[in-house]
Amino acid sequence: MLSNAYKDEL
Amino acid sequence: MNIFRLTGDLSHLAAIIILLLKIWKTRSCAGISGKSQILFALVFTTRYLDLLTSFISLYNTSMKFIYIGCAYATVYMIYAKFKATYDGNHDTFRVEFLVVPIGGLAFLVNHDFSPLEILWTFSIYLESVAILPQLFMISKTGEAETITTHYLFFLGLYRALYLMNWIWRFYFEGFFDMIAIVAGVVQTILYCDFFYLYVTKVLKGKKLSLPA
């Protein structure tokens, strides 16, 4: 899968 | 952190607080789907397990605690404290038809096949449809209290603002997260019909009632 970039979001 | 992200988070917080205050002030959870609220509590629980493994910022950590705390407080009010006012007869959406396929999907389509990652993915997919029992309940009774529609408006606005946030992040930070984006688009679309009714009826001072 593509990047896993949003872990800093709620 | 950009303006869309921040207003999105605040909009989400506003929705959660509006619902809690509505139940607390009226001493009633009439018209509120307990099933949707259980799903949201499940969403926060499975998504924020990273509280135990990683620290991002004080803002991030405190908001996560607030969201989880409020979600469980809401469930407690509906199923315990104000149970007598809960309209269970109209809250008949079969949540297993959501949770089971979404659990399967989270196993199949994820960024990494690890327990935390699968649970995070599950929470993203589940959040996109967690409002369905509430919308189903409104379509069944044909009406919603105005304060309930404000709750739904801020909840929908939050996801719409997150979509703007992701467009921003794609342009200025150069990355995107396909799982979050697809689920976020689905989630926002579910609110479109409601947004239309909200603008054409509630904002003009009328109660939200659906044609029979």
Chain A nearest C-alpha distance from B175 (Å): 7
Residue of A nearest to B64 (CA): A10
HSE, CB side, 13 Å, CA atoms: give it for residue B81: 15
pLDDT of residue B210: 85
Instruction: Choose from B11, B127, B179 for mutation: most chain A CBs within 10 A.
Output: B179
What gap in Å lies between CA B95 and CA B118, rounded to an integer?
Answer: 20
pLDDT of residue A7: 85
Instruction: Choose from B12, B178, B181, B185 for mutation: most chain A CBs within 10 A.
Output: B178
pLDDT of residue B211: 79
pLDDT in tens, B50-107: 999 989 999 999 999 999 999 999 999 999 999 999 999 999 999 999 999 999 999 9
Confidence category of residue A4, pLDDT binned at 50, 70, 90: low
Confidence category of residue B29, pLDDT binned at 50, 70, 90: very high
**B64 part of contact set with chain A, CB < 8 Å:** yes
Residue of A nearest to B9 (CA): A10
pLDDT in tens, B124-154: 999 999 999 999 999 999 999 999 999 999 9
CB contact under 8 A, B64 and A7: no
**B4 part of contact set with chain A, CB < 8 Å:** no
Chain A nearest C-alpha distance from B162 (Å): 9
pLDDT of residue B175: 84
Confidence category of residue A2, pLDDT binned at 50, 70, 90: very low
Q: Which two tokens stand for residue B112?
A: 């990494």
**B49 part of contact set with chain A, CB < 8 Å:** no
Residue of B nearest to A8 (CA): B56
| Contact assessment for residue B33 and residue B91, using Cβ atoms and an 8 Å cutoff | yes
pLDDT in tens, B191-211: 998 999 999 999 999 999 987
Chain B nearest C-alpha distance from A6 (Å): 6
Residue of B nearest to A1 (CA): B111
